[in-house]
Structure formats: structure tokens, C-alpha cells
Amino acid sequence: MYQLINKKRNVSEYLLINNNLIISTGNNLLLENEIVFSAKETYISNIKKCNQTVYILEYKVGLTYFNIENPNNKKTKDFIKGISLIINENDIIYGFYSNDYTTQYRCRINLETNEKKWTIESYFGNGKIADNFLYASCLNNKICKIDLNHPEKPLWQFDLSQFGTFSYGGDELPYKVVHFVGIWKNNLLVQLTNNRLIAIDTNTGKLVNDTQNRLNIPAVYKNTLVKMHLQGDMLHWLATFAYIQIHLNNFQVELKKDFTSTPENQRLEFSHNTLYDDKLYFVAGSQGSSIFKTHTGVFDILKNEVVWSNNPKEQLQKGEILKNEAPKVTDNKLYVPGNKGTLLIFEKTTDEQV
């Protein structure tokens, strides 16, 4: 189904924009193998994207950004040392500290006009942006809805402490946000620790639905951080040894595939994955290893089975394993990073199972 066509070395981060591969090596940024940016003083600490724009953060130096259609037309903002959120190509939120480093602030700025729309003391983290509202984790273990034009106070707060604690590893732990999955019919879908999913009314901040303990399935490790995916009226979750669907109309949990009966020497332990074109592209461990990711592959949600998997050990560097992050996918290519800087690039050969 896929064959390896290329591998890149010394890759710190990578992005895909309209099938264009953008790679950071730490010192240089490459757009389709051509160097388009070099760190001036230190190193590239982070790269981000929004539509056609690439944002490059050089450690302690500042922000450089450009449109990939015109990479020579770069612009800089040396006072921006880190991007918190990207609202659109021109509007971002960045963070900074007071002179004595005791208080953190956030500022919304238009990069083209340099207009600072607001500056406030920080009380929220990253989250989900929709219709100029931000749904995010806030202070004191709360979920908040924030108007990005007037963020001084949240529009509502949902307190996760109402769920109490859960037992894990001999400790009692509070519920935390794993992932803001998405918005479905005015419901904010939030994946929590302890394999729990809740739905919050986006207008009122009230709890609409809750899986409670129905996702604590033996084939899935308790408190897994593998993310769920929203498609239509369904959530798809490929985690540990199970594929699960959650029907959003009634919050019914359905175990579609249990891999625990597979012989151990053939069994994959699924970790982070990407949903694309009715398929989940994953990295996985094997033979009982939850730490070391040895395989990449494809699970077809229509066929309810793994249709392709590969152990690329020979293509990695000595002692290297696959990075525990979701692969990136285009119509005909699959990108899978290793944990020591190798980026494996596979090309689609057929839709048929191999």
C-alpha cells in the first residue's frame, strides 16, 4: 500500500503546506530541499503555520514569517519570542513576562499593522478556536470560553473539579484536559484524562453529556493520552489494543475491534494517529512495548482492520525508534519521524491491502 521513497536526516520539526514539505534542521529551514531561512545567532526553536504562512521562532532572537509563494519576502518581529495562538495569518497571540519575571502576559497583535489589540495578564492556555471564540484550559483546572476580541473575562467557566479524582498508579489524580476534540452541534467535545469524554454546551457552558466510566475498556490502557478524532456524527478512537466509535447523537460507546486476542508476537499497540480519508495512520509498539514505537501503519475504519503496517527499523539510525507522534498524511504520501531526526517519507502505491 505504501513504499519508502525517501528519508531525511537531522530533522527537528516539519510541516506540510499544500503538499509542500518544510523542514527545520535547527539551523536552517528548508522548503522542498531549498534553504529559505538560516538562524542568525542561535537556533530555530519552533515552526508553525497558518494557511500559506510559515512562522519561524529563533531562540532569544524573535519571529520571522513569510508566505510560501514568496519565501524571499520575509518579515521579522524581534520582540515576539514565542507564539501562543494563531488566530489567522495576520493576527496572533504572543506571550511575554514582566521585567521581574513574576507575571505572564498575553498580547494580540496584527502583524501587518503592528496594532496591539489587547494585552492582559495570562489566565488561559492553548485550545480550540471557532468563530472568534477560544475554548481553552484556564486557571484552577477550569475550561473557559473566551471572546478573542474582549478576553478580559471568560464568557463562562466549567469547573473540572466537580468530577472529583480518579485512582491511577497508586495516586488520586484530578481530571485534566487531554484534547479539545472539536465542536459538534454547539457541543464542545473535550477528551479528559482517565479515558473520559464530555460535551459542554458552547452557549451556556453547561454539561450536556458524559461517557463517565464507559470508555474504561480492558483493551485500552487506563489514562491513555491518544487523541480521538471527530468525523460527521462520530468519534473515532484507535488506542492501545482497540478501535472504538462514539456515536454523538446518543453518546453510545461501541467497541468495534478488540486486538487482545491477536497473538502477542503479531499484536500492535496503537499510539498517536491521524484520521485522513476514512483511515487512521498510526505509530505503534509491538510485543508488549508501550514505550518504543516500532511500526507505522494504516487502519481502515470502513473495513475495520489494519490494511498495512511496516517496521522501518533498517531505515532508521542506530538506536533510533519512531517518534511518539501522529504521522502526517497527504493524498499520496505518508510522513513518519524518528526520535533522532530521521523523517521517513512513504509514497502510496495502491489502495489494496498489502
- Give tens-digit pLDDT for 29-66: 999 999 999 999 999 999 999 999 999 999 999 999 99
Which one, of 94, 326, 124, 331, lies nearest residue 225 by Cα? 326
* Residues 199-258: tens digit of each pLDDT: 999 999 999 999 999 999 999 999 999 999 999 999 999 999 999 999 999 999 999 999
Residue type, 330: T
Q: Is 163 helix (H, G, I), strand (E, B) or coil?
A: helix
C-alpha distance from residue 10 to each of 24, 126, 349 (Å): 8, 28, 27
Mean pLDDT along residues 158-186: 97
Mean pLDDT along residues 99-108: 96
Q: Is 313 helix (H, G, I), strand (E, B) or coil?
A: helix
What pLDDT score was predicted for residue 23? 98
Which one, of 268, 267, 270, 272, lies nearest residue 324 by Cα? 272
Residue type, 30: L
How many Å is the Cα radius of gyration of the chain? 22
Q: What is the mean pLDDT of the chain?
A: 95
313 Cβ contact list (under 8 Å, min separation 6) = 294
The full set of domains in the chain, from first to last, is 15-122 (2.40.10.480)
What pLDDT score was predicted for residue 286? 87
Which one, of 96, 88, 35, 89, lies nearest residue 65 by Cα? 89
Which one, of 186, 181, 120, lies nearest residue 154 by Cα? 120
Share of the chain above pLDDT 90, in %: 93
Strands (DSSP E) contained in 131-176 are: 133-138, 142-147, 156-159, 165-168, 171-174
Share of the chain above pLDDT 70, in %: 98
Which residues on neighbouring strands pair with residue 259, listed in sequence order? Answer: none
What pTM did the predictor assign?
0.95
C-alpha–C-alpha distance, residues 92 and 86, integer Å = 4
What pLDDT score was predicted for residue 266? 86
C-alpha–C-alpha distance, residues 354 and 344, integer Å = 19
